[in-house]
Structure 1
């Protein structure tokens, strides 16, 4: 998987039809999605429960491109191997989820996946400064994690700081939460290159009528152009 900083749209299956995940992944990729984003929540680190490694393993054959797994769980370490074995290309853990994020990132890379670190809105960019040589992705939360469909919290200044800190390292900056054609250009212009969008992609479409997925993806991409 070669690194590039071109804009990537990563629809979150949190907003897809839960009874039809495989077909939803295929439909959204066919309509122009670059990555597929899987939001894993445990009802403990965040106030919601979604899915686990078995769901990732089930949808993996339906995803041609990148499966981007975002672990909003604590503890993280006991589950890394299972998510890696499920076919995750990227596994992202929260810097706030435990005392030893350095060890967690080592474990993710050791399991054969790309390592991501996520920052809640109240966590400063400086929290990952000492981790940049061991991550492949920094995820900036632009909502408080736990639910889909929340309003965007402007983290443009944090994104710009991260972009400056990263320099020429091959690290993606991902935005997760409240991404729409109105908010996407703010973070893209500040240096983000992966935009996670849930309801903004899946809204108005379905497996039987996937064309709106493509229109929604194009609208976000065109707004950032």
Structure 2
């Protein structure tokens, strides 16, 4: 059974995918002022997933505006070739998909050599066992609770058992690894994800669609996660 996630341990990492791209810098500044813990960049190449989003130059242009850590989630083919560009752009953490890395151990090692922390993301159909032998190289494991490629999708509750499995794998091995969930995270779903063992929550639509603003949205998510 997953250990209780304390409110002080809950990290909210807003995805800027739903942001107004014409005001992207202002949006990121607003997220920092609202108490976000980091900014999540959903990087898509139109090949690994059917969408095209941020390149490293866009991220680099925002880096001087905020002090929050940047995590880039590379939903791309051949992420090892792009990794140096995201290091140069100022990303502290780089997450790659296990499905895109035939030599996952080597790729994670290369990310660390670039001075970034490394993460591994798992698509819904990918088993937890895919990260079993690389946890020593990871700072973070990301369990996708939607199929990657688009924002605004519905949360896949069946992924909670995978979250719990990864949580047990991390705890039983004594690894200092964060467990993140991404996809359909909102006030009605974050509690179940927290109960399953997640401690880092990517939220896009739930943050940007809140008519009361970023402060309210982030506060509501923290409260809902803490009440699981």
TM-score range, shorter chain: over 0.9
Equivalent of 2:162, from 154, 158, 161? 158
- Match in the other structure for 1:215: 216
Map of 1:35-74 to 2, 5 A cutoff? 35-74=38-77
Listed one character per residue, the Cα deviations across residues 66-88 of structure 1 (whole Å, up to 9, x for unaligned) are 11110000011111111011100
Unaligned stretches of 5+ in structure 1? 206-210
- Match in the other structure for 1:186: 192
Q: What secondary structure sits across from 1:152 in the alignment?
A: coil
Q: With structure 1 as the length reference, what TM-score do the two structures score?
A: 0.94
Tell me if structure 1 keeps the 8 A contact 2:210–2:216. Answer: no
- Match in the other structure for 2:3: none
Unaligned stretches of 5+ in structure 2? 1-5
CA distance in 1, matches of 2:82, 2:55: 9
CA distance in 2, matches of 1:164, 1:19: 42
Q: Does 1:176 align with 2:195?
A: no
Shift of 1:29: 1.2
CA distance in 2, matches of 1:174, 1:129: 16
- Match in the other structure for 1:203: 209
CA distance in 2, matches of 1:101, 1:41: 19
Listed one character per residue, the Cα deviations across residues 87-144 of structure 1 (whole Å, up to 9, x for unaligned) are 0011000000131111110111010000000000000101110111111000000000
Listed one character per residue, the Cα deviations across residues 190-212 of structure 1 (whole Å, up to 9, x for unaligned) are 2111100001001145xxxxx51
Q: With structure 2 as the length reference, what TM-score do the two structures score?
A: 0.92
State which drifts further: 45-54 or 4-13: 4-13
Map of 1:110-125 to 2, 5 A cutoff? 110-125=113-128
State how many pairs are aligned: 217
- Match in the other structure for 2:26: 23
Tell me if structure 1 keeps the 8 A contact 2:70–2:92. Answer: yes
Q: Which runs of 4+ in 1 moved over 2 A?
A: none
